[in-house]
Every structure is written in C-alpha cells, then in structure tokens.
Structure 1
Amino acid sequence: MNHQDNFDFAIMTAVDDEHEAVLKAFKFCHKDKVLIENRIYWQKNIQTKLGNNYSLVVAQSLDMANVSSAILANNIIHHFHPKVIFLVGVCAGRENKVEKGDILLAEEVYYYERGKQTEKGFEPEPKMHSADAGLIDFIRNLPKTTIPNCKTHDGSMKRPKMVRGVIGCGEKVIEDPESWNQLLQHHRKIVAIEMESHGLASAIWEYSQDSKFIVIKAVMDYGVPPKDDRWKPFAAKAAALYIKNIINNDPFYSQNGIAQKIEENKLPPKGKLANHGNLPLGSRLEFIRNSNFTGRESDLMELANHFLYRPKEENNSEVSSIFLTSGIGGIGKTQLAIEFCFRYGRFFQGIHWIQADQDVEPQIADCGYRMGLTPWPEKLSDQVNSTIRTWEADNNRLIIFDNLESSEVLQKWIPRMRGIMVLATSRRDQWPSEMNIRTLPINVLNNVESREFLRNIAPRLNKVDDQVVDILSDRLGYLPLALYIAANYLNERKTFSVEQFLKELDERGKGISHTALSNWQQKIGPTHHVQNIIATFDMSWALLGESIEDKAAKIIAVAAGYCAPNIPIPPSIFYGLEEEGNKEIIEKALNRLYQVGLLILGSQSFPYIHSLITEYTRLQIGSSKDLKKIISVFVVLSHNALSTKLPELMYPYLEHMKQIIFWTDNGDFPEIGIVCGNLGIFFRQLTQFKDSLFYLEDSLEITTNNYGEDHPIVAICLKNLAAVLQDIGDPVGAKQRIERALEIDINAYGKDHPEVATDLNILVGISRQLGDLVGAMQHFERALEITNKSYGNYNLTDDIGRNNYLADVHKDLSDLREIVKDEQSLLINLVQYDQSTGVLRWKDVHQRLKSEVLRSVRYKRDLSLILMVLMLPNNKDISGRKLTTLEGQIIEVILNNLRKDLDILFIGEKIGIILPETTETSAQILALRLIDKIFRGLRAEVAVGIASVPKDAVTEDKLFDQAELALRFAISSDQSVIPASRLCA
C-alpha cells in the first residue's frame, strides 16, 4: 500500500489524547508510520469481523483550529483520496442536554464565527455543513452495544449515550456561560462546540466531490468554569473505540464493504440515473415518493446535468440558475420534480419546496425554520431575509417553485436569490429572455411507459391483452393524469371491462365528461392536485382574461378543438377567424395559449393540441355562430387549395378537415357539406376513389338535409359523385345521379339553361361508356341546341365541329367489334386471381406493389410488406391435398384479420401482405397476432419477414428484397418474426 492508493477511511484528530486513543484502538505500531512531505501519517489495512478488508490512514493536525484542520484534510484528500473522513475527538457539551462522556454524532456543523460588525453590533452570517445522510442513517441504527463500555477516571465502568444533533464550530475555546447564551441565540439546536469540523467540511466541499465526512466527538466538559480535564481521557477513548466499532460492524451489505453504501451517496457518473435516497436534513418537501412513477429517465438526467454536473463556477455565478419544466396540465411536471428530489436531493445541502401559486413569504420562512436557523427573528420579513441569506451563503441548495405561472413572482424573488439554484414547474414555456430561464418541455408518456403505469396502479390490467391496454392509453392521449384517474377507476370497478370503458369514452358527448375522468376521484392525488381532467384544464382556461388577445385566444382554442389532435395546425386556419385579418392579434393570442398550456408549440412554429384538450375546448363553444365561423374558414382554405390544381397544398389541412367534418356532420351546418365536397374532389384527384366516394356521399346527405332534395347545390353534389362513379367503372350509378341532377337543374333554371347543357354533355360521355350511342347522340344534339340559344352559334355548330363529333360516334360503333377481344382480355385477367380464395396471385403483385410504394413515398405515408412461409418439420410427411387445405385455412385466418379494402393479400411461393399506411411496429404486431392465431387454431408454424417504407426501402424491388432477406434470416435463425431494420442495426 502506498500513499497514492484510494483509501477507504481517514481519521483526523487535533490533540494528543485524541490521537493516541485512536492509534491504540486500532493497534497501530511503529512500522505503520510514514512520512510524506514532512507530515507523519499512520496507515494500515484492517479487517472487520465479517472478513472484509479496508484501508485506513490516521493523522493529527498541528493545532486545534479550523485552519489547521482544513490544511490536514486537504493533504489527506490529495495523498490518499479517502471515501470517508472521520473527525474524532473531544468537545464541550451543552449542560443539561448531554452528560460528560456522551458521544455526539454531528448531523450538521454550524460555523458561527462568520458575519459582520455594524453600528448595531455583530450580525451573524453563519455557515451550515451537512454530514453524509446515508452514513448518519446507518450509524444511528447500530445496536447500543456498538457504544463502548469504558473505565472512567474514578475506576467505574460507563457506557455513554450517543446523542445526535448540531455541533457548533468556532475559532476560540469557550469557558463562560454568557458565550453559550449568545451562541444559542444564533442556533437553539446546538448540543456541543469544538474548533475543527468547519475546516474539514470546507476542505471536502472545496477539493473533493468523492469524500464524505462524519464528526464524532465525546463530551469532556461543559465549556464553563471551573475547567476540568478529568473526563478528557475517557472521552477520547470512547470516541476512538466507537469509530472502531462502527467500521467493525461492516454495515454495507457487499464484499466491497463500505464502498457500496458510499456509492449510493455519491453522485453517479454522468448519464447514469441515481437511485432513490433520503432528503438532506432541514429540507421542506410535503410529498412522499410516488412508487408508481414511471419513465422520464431522460428528463431526470437532463435536470441532473443542469444542476449537478456543470462546473462549479457556473453554479456559483451571481445570476440564479433557473431551470423550468413546462407542459400542459396533468402531464406530470410536479411529479417529475418530486421524483428528482428523491433521486438527487441528497446531493444538495437542502431541498426547499415552494408553491408559487400561494403566498411565497411564509413558505420561505418555514424553510428557514425547518433548517433550524437561530436566532429566529419574530417578524416574517426578517425570517425571510435570514433564510435567503443562508441559501446564498451555502450555495448548494435547490429551491423549487411549483406551479409558477406568473412572471411577477419571479421578478419579485429571483433578484434576491443570487447564485441560488431554482427548479420551477409551469404550464408556460415562453418567458422574457432577460429572466435567464432554461426550459425543458415535458411530453406525454410513450406507449410502453403508459402500459406499465396503468398496470402499476391497476394490477388487474396485467391480465388484459397488451393491445387493449395500448388502445386505452391512446384514447387517453398518454396523459399521466388521465391514465392515473382511469386506472384507479378500473381498479375500483373490478367487474367493469376495459372494452366497456372504451365504448363509453367513445360515445359522443362523453369523453372527458365521463364519470371516471370528471368526478369519480374525490380524493387529492400524490401531488396534492385535484384529480379531475376538466378541473385541471379549467385552471388553464381561467388564466385567459377579457383582453383582445385573450378573447381571440379563446376562439382559437375552440377552433383547435375541432382540429386533429397531436398534428401540427397551420396558423392560416386561425388567421381566418379574425374578422379584420389582423395577424398580430392572432399571433399574440397563440402565445397566450402556449403560456397557459392549452396549445403546444411544435416544429416549424406550428401549434398542436392534445387529444383531451380538444374535448375540453369543444365544451367551451360559445354559440353556433362561432362554430359556423370555424367551418367557413375550412370552406375557404379547401376551395383555395383545390383551385390551384396542386394537391399538395391541401395536405397541411387534410386531417383537420376530416376532424371538423367528424364533429359537425350532424346536419346543423350546411357549410360543412361544402367542406366534404371539396375533400371528396381532392381524393378523386389522388385517385383515392373509396375516400372520395365517402366524403361526396356525406356532402350529398348534408346538403340534401339542409337545402331540400330539389336545390341546385344538391345537383352539384350529384354531379361530383357521378364523376367518381364513372372513374371506378360504374356508369349505371353515374347515369342515375346525373339524370337526377338534370331534373333538378331543369326545375331550378329552366330547360334551356346552360347548366342543363352541362348536364347533358356529362350524359353524353356516360352513354358512350354504356354503349348507348344513340342516346349519346341525342344528348349531344340537345346540349348543342341549348348552347346555341344561350351564346349564339358556337364552333360546334359548323359542319366541321358537328362532323368531328359524328366521326367520334362512328368510331365508337366500330369499337364494338373489339368487344370480343376485350372479353378475352377479361378472361385472362381472371386467371390472375386464385379462384378458390379470390386472392391476387404472386406473379401479378409487382405492379400493385409498385403503385403502393410510389403513393407511400409521394405522400410520405408508411407502408409495410409482410412475407410469410409455412414451416413444416423435416420429419413430418404431409400429402399435397392436406398441404393445400392447410394453406387455404391459413389464408382464411389472415383474411379475417386484415382491414377490408385496404390491406392486400397475395399468394404464390410465399404468402404476402401489402399493408398501406402501416408502420413497421404495427406490422410486427399484426404478424405476431397472425402467428399466434395460426398456431392456436391450426397447430401450424410460420416464419415472417417484414420490410417497410421509407425505413428499409423506397422502391418496390428494394422493399421486396429486404422482406425476402428478413424472411430468410427468420428461417435460418429459427425465429418467428424478423423486421429488415434489425438486420441493419
């Protein structure tokens, strides 16, 4: 062992009696003495009764003073790097509080000499040092037999008491009652005084982040005359033997002995989450740790990095270090701060919690009272000043301002807290730049965290399928407060299934108004906040006043409630709500909504809104007039986007248009029919005919209900619908709609109106499509007649125009000869499909896959491809007939689990599934479900390979190759499912 080793323990003493008692207790001999830089140290290895070995170094300071103590501590830290430094020896005890010989375990060191002399007298500015909380906790729980039974000066045996408390430290020996009285006015909890502990604590704070200190001293006198040293040898021996017994108890449950316990109270390496621990003595935190706290590891480490891993000079600046966690109500800001305190609080000198939405002054004063500050002033203002001065002097305390929504609170208090570390929680994420605030936006839990959180609170959900629990999490927007309330509700209603709960939540008009989320939980939660979703959002709404900006903010919030949640909302939607088109007012209103936590500022400076807040703001709708204004904005935006003939201009509004249609298509707002119609036309431009038909039929129904069956607008809806029916090869349906539109237009405008000619021209094309060439000719002639009446002779009236059209008709007649050829082509196409299953054959999938990949890449949508093969054991003989039957049963299982008219199944050498708008994760979930159902139902095993766009490929060939590669790996590695992305990881 040399002096550059990292030692486990160091023991410091000040006077000869103390030093000799320690050397004797640990049986040091001459060979253990070493000389380093003209100072003598005693070092050796010691073994505990459990057989663990520790290294120990002992040294004596040159004088019993703080300066000498600090110098010695610095030298020990430099040469030996000990994990723990014990200061052992004798002290003067407080009469009537301790007896001579009692052993003092110092929980805190109070340095009382610091201050300034004024005209009014001495004003103390004391310094407090806290001993290591983990070691204090261990020592106080040791059995009483750890305290040695020693012989006193009169020959009797005595086992002293162990007393825990505050030890006062100064620069001079005290020997009179008046000095004691003055000292106790400064701090009423002092039980003993000495002259070395401040030097030790200061050296460790200044020079070592790794060492901990403990002060153990025994009482030799009371610091009053007459001076009596008879108890000094007993006190020195008792303290030395007590330290020996502490180490010999080997309390730290690992082969490394004390190292593990020290590790728990040592700041872990950056990037590693700290374990839970005790709070420092004198802290103010009214909450217990929430055992159900889930996730947030990255947020906790972000806070730790800011407060604990920055260079000391940054934390010691004159400007307060304010770190603010922001997010909507119910997202868990307070809970995160509490968890941080219980994980990292022991690395601060104190944790002091203040509710910023309540009166701050008495709370600061209460912090000082709990710290045991003395003398304790009578006036509240003096109590506050004394507390803040101590915070500034200690410079390693964390002040928490919870629910900080007012900048006035910061402007009042932060200038008074120079260099103090402040953690705040707030709905606001935007603050004046001059306040030097760093913000950490808090997000909702992810899917896995939400599932774990729900099951922690409601254990019966462990028996519920993951997918069902995930659906519940998604329905509640992964918001921790909503998850907490719902889990408690399900936990208490044990016969009420999750499926029933989801069904009730999805009923219109319920949602957050459901009993579970509004008034089921009457009790206050772990953060003392109300457990009610509506009441939580009410707090944000109440922050909006009656100013122009706040009134506009309320309208915007309601409008956002009719938009799609968790998707960026183009601000242009909100600009249309301001009658005068004043963008400045709208932008100020948006900032107010960010401040109160009703909207969230996302990427590209676009706001978005949480799903539960959409339900809340829809409840705040003032009148149908306000909603009509919102719908009118979408009418204008959709019309403008369509008129450009550029479909991509519609994309930012697409999901929001779908959402407002969903919430307003009850027939009360005819304008929503126009939005539906525009959306239907948009999907027709994209050749997404299924979606186009859905919205055009919705538009027709809404328009008919509002205007009646014979209104010209209904005719427009019919014509839009007919165009799509023509596109998808349903000319019969198209003809029915156009003929009805023609009837309406004739009744509305008269039989010779140009609009009637338009209808007839559409009928011309449909008739030709049906092969009714005679009818097509009649419609054409009638349309031509109306046009001539309305506009005079037009180009089509000359012989060239008319003959050109007739030539087209004759061409149609000649095309009839090709019908036989077309029928033959149809027969060929029929062969592309398996006649027993109706599933697309393998050889014809390439073109379909190509079109799906192109659409996915163009419109930035997910797409996944599954390839599957049946795995037959090598030793299993199965006939071709049985194999065909089994494959047919597998296909039936797959078809029953696919989305109708969206997912595409094909067969051949392998079974394949094209999954539009499906992520790799969702494809894996489907694959696992299919594997399970195939095995349970058919006792057959399959292997699956998955590839996705754009994660693995952006072309159909590459996508197919990646899925093939994943499938081969699944087969060779005997795994059921392999995504291609795993092969690249």
Structure 2
Amino acid sequence: MNNPWHSVTLRVVGLDGQPVPFDFLRIKTSSQHSERGTVLSDLGESTYTEQNAGIYKFQYQLKNPSASVWAAIERGKRQSMQLIRPGLHEYYFRFEERSGEGRQAPLDEPVPREQADGIASYRYDSDTGVPSADIGIITMKIEEFRAVLKRFVSDDRAIDGQNLRYNFRKFADNDGNELTVAIVRSRQGDVNALYTAMELIREVRPRLVVLVGIAGGRPAGEFTLGDVVVASKMINLTVDAANPDGSRGYATSASELHPDVEKVVLNLEGDAGRYGDWNSVTSIRMERPAVSLAKRNFKGPRDWQAKTREALAKYFGKNGQNRLPIVIDGPIASGSTLMKDPKVFQEWLDIARDIIAVDMEIVGVFEACRKGKYLLPTLVVRGISDIIGFSRDDKWTEYACETAAAFTKSLLISGTIPILRSPRSENLS
C-alpha cells in the first residue's frame, strides 16, 4: 500500500483535568540525514482554542514510511516533545527550553508526575488506506441503514476497509461548509457494535461518531411511538447475574457525553428552530402507522398494562393527540438481549429510574469511543419503535427508522455541533 493515511488525536490537559493553554501543538517527523543528522519536519499544526476542549486531531500522509512521529507542545520559548507510537497511550509532559537549532530530536525520557505541567493522551492510527471523514454513522437493521442512506445522496462510492465497507457521502451544512460522512452497517448486539465502532475509528478517523436507529421506550406521557430520543447518558446493563431466588443482579456503569456533544443534547429545545421541519410527513417520507389499543396487545403485570394503556391512549386513543414526532433527550440503557419483558425492564428501572429507552448497541459504541483517556464525541439518535409491553404494527419499525434518520440529517446540517464547525487538518508531507 503506497503512501497510506495516518492519524493522530491528542488530548492535552493539566493535572487537574482541565485543558492547558499553549501557543502551538505540532505533529513532526524525524528522519536521519547523512550530513545533517536527525532532521525534524512539521506535518501539522494547531493553535489553542477553548472550543476544542483540549482535543486536537491531525491527518496526514508520510512519504518516508520509516520516519518517526513526534508531538510537540509549545508555549513561549519552551516546548515538550514526545515520540508517539501506534495505539492508545498517555504521558506526562513538561515545558522545557528548546534547543537552538531545533533539529535534534530529544531523548524519549518519561516525566515524573510531580515535575509535569500536564497530561497528554493520544491515539495514533497508521496505515489505514481509507480516506478520512468528518462523521462516522453506524446502523444495524437494514431499515436503519436504508433510511440513513436516503438522507445522504451523492456520487461517492463505497470504499472497502480491511474488514468493513464504508459508504462515503458529501453534504453541506446550513452555513455552506462541506462535510463528509462515512456510513456503515453493523450486525446487531453490543459486541458487534464495539467491533464496528473500533474499526470505523481506526480506519476512517472521524471527528464525530453517530449511532442511528431504533429503540424500545418506557410507557410515558411525554413521548410515544415514532418520537426520537437522543442519549444524554449511556447506562451499561450488559453484565448481569442470575440469583438463587430467581431474580437478577446487575453490575451497572454509566458514561457521560463529550462536552461538545453534551451542550448540543441539553439544548435540543433551545435549538429547535435550527432543525427545520425534520418531523414533517415530507421529511419522514411516510405516514404515521395506526395503533390498536385492543387488550390482546398489552403484556406484563396488570399495573404495567394499565400504565402502558394510559400512556398510549394519550396519543392514539379516541381523544388522543394526533401530532408530529418530537425529539427529546434522556438516558438510554443498553443490554445484551432484545428487551421485550416488562418484568425485566422493571428491574432495570429499580436500578436506574431515569431510563427512558433501551437498545443493544449503545454500550459498544461508547466503549469504543472512550478508551482510556481518549475521548471521541459520540451521538446516539434513536427512534422509538416499541413501547415495552405493547405489541404494535410492524410498520412502526420502518417509521421509527425514518424519524431517527430525518432528525440526524437535520442535526448534522444545523451547525450546532462545535466539533464540526472547525476545519479539520489534512496535511501532507
């Protein structure tokens, strides 16, 4: 493979975890010259900006495959240089005086924490052979995949990675900025989602990963079938145990959002005017399916059936509200099996009472995007295709896929996501 793509993402913070201001963050290569000794060449450069939340990303190609790659953080006349290696790593850094010539690479010696000015964590991916994209979108079911592809149409072709095939599409946001998205389909389940997300991150090097599809919702008056939920938090319930008395126990954990994503998710209502008519019939491209509230369609304990009937009657009963879909935010829980049993879901609610939807993949995507100190912005957009404990028309699967895809496109073109507003670095050397 000739002249493959390389990628470095760095997160630069102080010992307190807050971003550290600097003048320049440079990615350099070093190689040996017969007369000049070790020679350093700049590949990419970024200045400090508050919007980056301490995270900086560079993509480039190396003409010399044997060259070493270094990260140089500069402030004033002082700098820190570190040899970086493929994979996920972190190191303590200290600003020191630069050499006069600036040609000789420093010794790769560790800095003790007590002498450090901060912590740099990085992900270095090399030899992917796949072009980069601003956004990576992961779907599972064929209906999810089809709905997303319909929203991103261009002349770009599918490109094969080592193990996955990516559908590259170009589009412009509302400010006229051109963005590239790579759309990929994964098999269902948390492990498959983890694998797909890790491959996507390694090969495509996106600035944002988006999981788009459907989920089951709890019976509630504030949302219903066909509405869209954007995850404000991921609750991991994939690790469970069968107790002797027949009950189940869970080892739970939760993952918060990247700051650039959190500010968007928590302000969905405030930015509603920037998302346009994503929920119109024209945008969704199909009418809302019917709902039968016949007794045979309700499952589970009596109190759960009553709660579910009351919640659905608000929208689909004789005097129900016939409105367009809405978008809300809330915690989404993830398990290893498809959630259909209200009794099991009640156990989940006993552990985390604020859960509003469940799926099987969000935990895998979050885990892939949050390895060690490395933090990649992650969005999860789910259309509500089921209310747990209720048997609905099969057309709700397709409808919920369409609402999720329609909102995702409107969100990505809105210009509200900070990480997509700054130009990405595409440096060649």
Q: TM-score range by the shorter chain?
A: 0.5 to 0.7
Which of 51, 54, 61 in structure 1 is aligned with 2:179?
A: 54
Cα distance in 1, alignment partners of residues 410 and 206 from structure 2: 19
Cα distance in 2, alignment partners of residues 157 and 23 from structure 1: 28
Counterpart in the other structure of 1:900: none
CA shift for structure 1 position 153: 4.0
Cα distance in 1, alignment partners of residues 331 and 416 from structure 2: 24
Cα distance change, pair 77–18 in 1 and its aligned pair in 2 (3 A): same
CA shift for structure 1 position 237: 1.0
Contact kept in structure 2, 1:34 and 1:42, CA below 8 Å: yes
Counterpart in the other structure of 1:127: 253
What letter corresponds to residue 166 of structure 1 in structure 2?
P
Which of 346, 350, 356 in structure 2 is aligned with 1:191?
A: 356
1:152 aligns with 2:278: no
1:142 aligns with 2:271: yes
Which of 355, 378, 388 in structure 2 is aligned with 1:223?
A: 388
What letter corresponds to residue 358 of structure 2 in structure 1?
I
Which of 20, 38, 41 in structure 1 is aligned with 2:166?
A: 41
Cα distance change, pair 159–40 in 1 and its aligned pair in 2 (3 A): same
1:100 aligns with 2:225: yes
Cα distance change, pair 38–127 in 1 and its aligned pair in 2 (3 A): same
Q: How many residues align?
A: 258
CA shift for structure 1 position 158: 5.3
Contact kept in structure 2, 1:149 and 1:158, CA below 8 Å: no
Cα distance in 1, alignment partners of residues 288 and 264 from structure 2: 31
Counterpart in the other structure of 1:759: none
Cα distance in 2, alignment partners of residues 181 and 100 from structure 1: 19
Structure number, greater radius of gyration:
1
1:244 aligns with 2:409: yes
Larger strand proportion of the pair: 2
Q: Within 5 Å, give how 1:315-330 maps onto structure 2.
A: none
Cα distance change, pair 28–68 in 1 and its aligned pair in 2 (3 A): farther
Q: Within 5 Å, give how 1:711-730 maps onto structure 2.
A: none
Cα distance change, pair 20–251 in 1 and its aligned pair in 2 (3 A): same
What letter corresponds to residue 248 of structure 1 in structure 2?
I
Counterpart in the other structure of 2:148: 22
Cα distance change, pair 159–132 in 1 and its aligned pair in 2 (3 A): farther
Cα distance in 1, alignment partners of residues 417 and 331 from structure 2: 25
Cα distance change, pair 257–154 in 1 and its aligned pair in 2 (3 A): closer
Q: Secondary structure at the match of 1:190?
A: coil
Cα distance in 1, alignment partners of residues 339 and 376 from structure 2: 30
What letter corresponds to residue 91 of structure 1 in structure 2?
A
Cα distance change, pair 210–131 in 1 and its aligned pair in 2 (3 A): closer
Stretches of structure 1 lacking an aligned partner (at least 5 in a row): 264-985
Q: Within 5 Å, give how 1:42-441 maps onto structure 2.
A: 42-61=167-186, 63-97=187-221, 98-119=223-244, 121-139=247-265, 140=268, 141-144=270-273, 145-146=275-276, 147-150=278-281, 151-154=286-289, 159-206=324-371, 209-251=374-416, 257-259=420-422
Cα distance change, pair 207–60 in 1 and its aligned pair in 2 (3 A): farther
1:10 aligns with 2:141: no
What letter corresponds to residue 87 of structure 1 in structure 2?
L
Cα distance in 2, alignment partners of residues 250 and 185 from structure 1: 38
Contact kept in structure 2, 1:101 and 1:235, CA below 8 Å: yes
What do residues 366-422 of structure 1 show as CA deviations (whole Å, max 9, x unaligned)? Answer: xxxxxxxxxxxxxxxxxxxxxxxxxxxxxxxxxxxxxxxxxxxxxxxxxxxxxxxxx
Q: Secondary structure at the match of 1:182?
A: helix
CA shift for structure 1 position 81: 1.1
CA shift for structure 1 position 227: 4.8
Q: Within 5 Å, give how 1:413-812 maps onto structure 2.
A: none
CA shift for structure 1 position 5: 4.0
Cα distance change, pair 180–137 in 1 and its aligned pair in 2 (3 A): same
Q: Secondary structure at the match of 2:371?
A: helix
Contact kept in structure 2, 1:103 and 1:218, CA below 8 Å: yes
Cα distance change, pair 73–93 in 1 and its aligned pair in 2 (3 A): same
Cα distance change, pair 257–117 in 1 and its aligned pair in 2 (3 A): closer
Contact kept in structure 2, 1:111 and 1:170, CA below 8 Å: yes
Contact kept in structure 2, 1:90 and 1:232, CA below 8 Å: yes
Q: Secondary structure at the match of 1:71?
A: helix
What do residues 528-560 of structure 1 show as CA deviations (whole Å, max 9, x unaligned)? Answer: xxxxxxxxxxxxxxxxxxxxxxxxxxxxxxxxx
Cα distance in 2, alignment partners of residues 25 and 220 from structure 1: 19
Cα distance in 1, alignment partners of residues 322 and 137 from structure 2: 26
Larger helix proportion of the pair: 1
CA shift for structure 1 position 49: 2.3
Cα distance in 2, alignment partners of residues 159 and 83 from structure 1: 32
Cα distance change, pair 207–80 in 1 and its aligned pair in 2 (3 A): farther
CA shift for structure 1 position 55: 1.8
Contact kept in structure 1, 2:258 and 2:376, CA below 8 Å: no
Contact kept in structure 2, 1:175 and 1:227, CA below 8 Å: no
Contact kept in structure 1, 2:134 and 2:420, CA below 8 Å: no
CA shift for structure 1 position 197: 0.2
Cα distance in 1, alignment partners of residues 204 and 336 from structure 2: 27
What letter corresponds to residue 153 of structure 2 in structure 1?
K
What do residues 549-596 of structure 1 show as CA deviations (whole Å, max 9, x unaligned)? Answer: xxxxxxxxxxxxxxxxxxxxxxxxxxxxxxxxxxxxxxxxxxxxxxxx
Q: Secondary structure at the match of 1:193?
A: strand
Cα distance in 1, alignment partners of residues 415 and 322 from structure 2: 26
What letter corresponds to residue 232 of structure 1 in structure 2?
T
Contact kept in structure 1, 2:279 and 2:326, CA below 8 Å: no
CA shift for structure 1 position 96: 2.0
CA shift for structure 1 position 148: 2.5
CA shift for structure 1 position 194: 0.5
CA shift for structure 1 position 225: 4.1
Cα distance change, pair 83–208 in 1 and its aligned pair in 2 (3 A): farther
CA shift for structure 1 position 211: 1.8
Cα distance in 2, alignment partners of residues 131 and 36 from structure 1: 28
Cα distance in 2, alignment partners of residues 8 and 26 from structure 1: 14
What do residues 410-448 of structure 1 show as CA deviations (whole Å, max 9, x unaligned)? Answer: xxxxxxxxxxxxxxxxxxxxxxxxxxxxxxxxxxxxxxx
CA shift for structure 1 position 116: 4.1
Cα distance in 2, alignment partners of residues 74 and 207 from structure 1: 14
Cα distance change, pair 27–6 in 1 and its aligned pair in 2 (3 A): closer
What letter corresponds to residue 83 of structure 1 in structure 2?
R
Cα distance change, pair 252–60 in 1 and its aligned pair in 2 (3 A): closer
Cα distance in 2, alignment partners of residues 65 and 74 from structure 1: 14
Cα distance in 2, alignment partners of residues 74 and 138 from structure 1: 24
CA shift for structure 1 position 119: 4.5
Cα distance change, pair 252–65 in 1 and its aligned pair in 2 (3 A): closer
Stretches of structure 2 lacking an aligned partner (at least 5 in a row): 6-128, 291-320
What do residues 839-872 of structure 1 show as CA deviations (whole Å, max 9, x unaligned)? Answer: xxxxxxxxxxxxxxxxxxxxxxxxxxxxxxxxxx
Cα distance in 1, alignment partners of residues 323 and 149 from structure 2: 22
Contact kept in structure 2, 1:108 and 1:165, CA below 8 Å: yes
Q: Secondary structure at the match of 1:105?
A: strand
Cα distance change, pair 107–7 in 1 and its aligned pair in 2 (3 A): same
Contact kept in structure 2, 1:28 and 1:42, CA below 8 Å: no
CA shift for structure 1 position 113: 2.8
